[in-house]
């Protein structure tokens, strides 16, 4: 009798652990989950005719920078993975953070966020991808981050996000390019998709 009781307890604990693992894995989203979903990021391909008046392509801004775009940032029409151009960041002693326009988010949404990038040099530094949520007053509520060292071939830098804090209404994608000594990094085809809805009730 005691043996059966212990067996039931062990079985119940095992099922609980397994079910927890499955719940946790629900926050791992994939590129395939975006099929048929709307990309929430405006101008995800950094498409533009030119850097008009030294500004970034529409839908993107620079964090902690003056009104003029540094000479290390340029629209590149010879390199892209989506559309006619990409955004190129040349070697610089200064970090660069490029931030998307705000887009609506839901507390119970699950999000897949991505940017594609490559470099013409093997770099020691990693590019950071951030997904940040805000309340209507602009207060930061969530910060999600992922890192990747650029390669000479285009690679996806992505993250999965969920369990958004109560009060969040908007989100932004931010791409942080660290200082690096030589060569260039290209970024293109950024995006954020709501790919899941958590059933809380």
48-98 per-position pLDDT tens digit: 755 554 568 899 999 865 556 788 999 999 999 988 899 999 999 999 999
- Gap between the Cα atoms of 18 and 139, Å rounded: 36
Token duo for residue 150: 């650029």
Closest CA to 154 of 126, 118, 191, 112: 118
Question: Please, are residues 142 and 165 in contact by the beta-carbon 8 Å criterion?
Answer: yes
Match 């981050």 to its residue by tokens. 145
pLDDT at site 186 = 97
Integer CA distances (angstroms), 147 to 90, 118, 130, 150, in order: 19, 13, 9, 10
DSSP secondary structure, 104-126, as one string: E--TTEEEEEEEEEEESS--SS-
What percent of the chain shows pLDDT beyond 70? 80
Question: Please, are residues 183 and 124 in contact by the beta-carbon 8 Å criterion?
Answer: no
pLDDT at site 64 = 65
* Topology of the domain comprising 30-197: Jelly Rolls (2.60.120)
123-180 per-position pLDDT tens digit: 888 999 999 999 999 999 999 999 999 999 999 999 999 999 999 999 999 999 999 9
- Gap between the Cα atoms of 38 and 55, Å rounded: 26
- Gap between the Cα atoms of 173 and 192, Å rounded: 8
Confidence grade of residue 198 (pLDDT, cut at 50, 70, 90): confident
Check: pTM over 0.85? Answer yes or no. Answer: no
């Amino acid at each position: 009798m005691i043996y059966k009781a212990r067996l039931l307890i062990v079985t119940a604990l095992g099922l609980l652990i397994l079910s927890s693992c499955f719940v946790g894995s629900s926050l791992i989203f994939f590129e395939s989950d975006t099929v048929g979903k709307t990309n929430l990021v405006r101008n995800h391909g950094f498409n533009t005719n030119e850097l008009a008046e030294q500004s970034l392509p529409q839908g993107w801004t620079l964090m902690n920078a003056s009104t003029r775009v540094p000479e290390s940032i340029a629209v590149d029409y010879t390199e892209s993975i989506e559309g006619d151009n990409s955004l190129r960041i040349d070697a610089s002693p200064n970090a660069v953070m490029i931030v998307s326009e705000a887009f609506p988010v839901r507390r119970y949404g699950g999000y897949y966020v991505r940017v594609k990038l490559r470099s013409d040099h093997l770099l020691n530094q990693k590019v950071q991808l951030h997904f940040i949520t805000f309340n209507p007053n602009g207060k930061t509520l969530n910060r999600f981050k992922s890192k990747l060292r650029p390669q000479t071939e285009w690679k996806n830098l992505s993250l999965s996000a969920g369990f958004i804090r109560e009060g969040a209404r908007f989100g932004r994608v931010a791409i942080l390019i660290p200082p690096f000594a030589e060569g260039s990094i290209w970024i293109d085809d950024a995006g954020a998709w709501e790919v899941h809805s958590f059933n809380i009730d």
